[in-house]
Structure formats: C-alpha cells, structure tokens
Amino acid sequence: MLATGLALNPDITVGLMDTDITGPSIPTMLGVAEETVHGSAAGWEPVWAGDNLACMSIQFMLPDRDAAVIWRGAKKSGMIKTFLKDVVWGDLDFLVVDTPPGTSDEHLAVNSYLKDAGVDGALLITTPQEVALLDVRKELAFCRKAGIRVLGIVENMSGFVCPSCKHQSQIFRASTGGARKFAEEEGIRFLGAVPLDPRIGMACDYGESFLENFADSASAKAIRGVVKGVVDELGLKDIVLEDDE
C-alpha cells in the first residue's frame, strides 16, 4: 500500500521488493501473479505493475502458483541478496521492502546488504491487540539494535463500521491502548489508523488498486495519510498526490 500510494504520483518511480520467500503475496495484490521474470545481460528485469512501479518476488520464479519454497534461512538470505544485486531496478526514487513478521534472516539480510546504500527507515505495522503489539515491540527493539530509524507506526484493522446500521465495532480491540499509546510511550510517530474495509481484501485478491478504486473511502484516506506522513518524516515534500478536496 505504501508503494502503490507513492506510485499514485506518475512522476516518481517506485520499486517494491517482496522478501517473504515462503509466502509471497505481493504479485497477487498487484495483479501481476502470472508474470515471470526475464533475464538480460545486465541482470533480471523486475515485473512492472503499471508505468512507475517495479516489483520483484520469488513468486515470479515458481514453476506453478502453488509450489512451496522449502528453504532454510541461509537460502532465503541468499535470494534477498540476489534481489538487491542482480535485479535491474533502474533509476528508482523509492525502494520499498516488504518483510514478513519477525526479527530473523530476512530482516538481517535486508539490513546487511543495504548497509552501504543506507536504509532510510522502517515502517512498523500492527493491529490493535496486545498480542500484535507484543511482536511489534520486539521489531522495534530489533530496529534500535540494528541502528535502523523508525519512521512511525500504523494501526491496521482498526475498527469496523457496519454497512447496514453504521454501528462501529472494535473487532480487534486495543486492550492496552493500541498503536497510538505505543507510539507515545516509545517516542515514535503515530502515522494513522486504517479501519477494516471488506473492499481492501477484495482489491488485494483481484489485484486491483484499492487506493484508486475506492479513493473516497475512510480506509483509502487513512492510507494516503500514512504515505504522506512517511514522506514528511523522510524530509521530502510535494511528492504525495494531494486529495482533490
């Protein structure tokens, strides 16, 4: 969503790297799951989802959609290195790296292989419950230990408005204060809360752009707010497309 939010601006070019080697979802979500990666003399060509969004995922290399990648950590790290070294990313304005949850091989690999280029920062994503924040606290500890700047935290699945009666339910309740309180306590930026919307899951399944197709929804507005906050936190300006309103 961060990558597609940035790519709403046709003047900037975004790369999106899927480091979830055993459960790659990004090609499906971008509607390019059927694509394969082509090699050239210069290296592997990423798959383009639109004019200004280049994407790389192990899913593009599988013999069939459902094939399992049964790899230990060292091999996963090697593939992430390849994604960074041998993919012809071209002239990108942003490279967004999506990682699976945890603090293990994928995270160490990204940090180590991008050390010289420099990682601008990490975006933490949680849901409101304490069991989710428990993991995110560990991810924050990892970032601090690894010297990675934390750009902020987003609360996903934050409330649901019944389409029939407009009653709002906290399906995943913030029993310990959710991401907002967490951000306050830890001195990091709270970038926003994205409410549950069935159309998000549908758009992901069908590989359609939720941000474009449902631009007026509360969730799309919240996501655009997150993108704006990230860009602001990076000290950049005039990059995110403003709402027309």
d(C-alpha 6, C-alpha 11), whole Å: 10
**Shortest distance, CB of residue 113 to a copy of itself, whole angstroms?**
14
Nearer to a copy of itself, 12 or 183 (CB): 183
Residue 78's contacts (CB-CB under 8 Å, 6 or more residues apart) are none
d(C-alpha 171, C-alpha 156), whole Å: 12
d(C-alpha 161, C-alpha 138), whole Å: 31
CA dist list (Å): 5 to 10, 90, 239:
11, 20, 10
Nearer to a copy of itself, 204 or 239 (CB): 204
Enumerate the H helices of the chain as residue ranges.
2-6, 26-29, 73-85, 105-113, 130-146, 178-186, 198-206, 210-213, 218-233
**Shortest distance, CB of residue 9 to a copy of itself, whole angstroms?**
26
Residue 160 as a binder of a copy of itself (CB under 8 A): the answer is yes
d(C-alpha 215, C-alpha 209), whole Å: 9
Q: Candidates 98, 139, 155, 233: give the one binding a copy of itself (CB under 8 A).
A: 139
**Shortest distance, CB of residue 147 to a copy of itself, whole angstroms?**
13
Residue 237 as a binder of a copy of itself (CB under 8 A): the answer is no
Residue 172 as a binder of a copy of itself (CB under 8 A): the answer is yes
- 30 in helix, strand or coil? coil
Residue 108 as a binder of a copy of itself (CB under 8 A): the answer is yes
The pairing of strands 47-48 and 53-56 is antiparallel
Size of the site for a copy of itself (CB under 8 A): 59
What's the start-to-end Cα distance of the chain, in Å?
21
**Shortest distance, CB of residue 112 to a copy of itself, whole angstroms?**
11
Residue 112's contacts (CB-CB under 8 Å, 6 or more residues apart) are none
Residue 129 as a binder of a copy of itself (CB under 8 A): the answer is yes
**Shortest distance, CB of residue 31 to a copy of itself, whole angstroms?**
12
Token readout for 179 is 């991401």
Q: Candidates 118, 162, 244, 245: give the one binding a copy of itself (CB under 8 A).
A: 162
Residue 138 as a binder of a copy of itself (CB under 8 A): the answer is yes
**Shortest distance, CB of residue 12 to a copy of itself, whole angstroms?**
26
Binding track over 57-96 against a copy of itself, x by CB under 8 A: --------xxxxxxxxxx-xx-------------------
d(C-alpha 228, C-alpha 208), whole Å: 21
Q: What is the contact surface with a copy of itself in residues (CB under 8 A)?
A: 21-23, 25, 28-29, 65-74, 76-77, 100-105, 107-108, 129-131, 134-135, 137-142, 145-146, 160, 162-165, 167, 169-173, 175-176, 196, 198, 201-202, 204-206
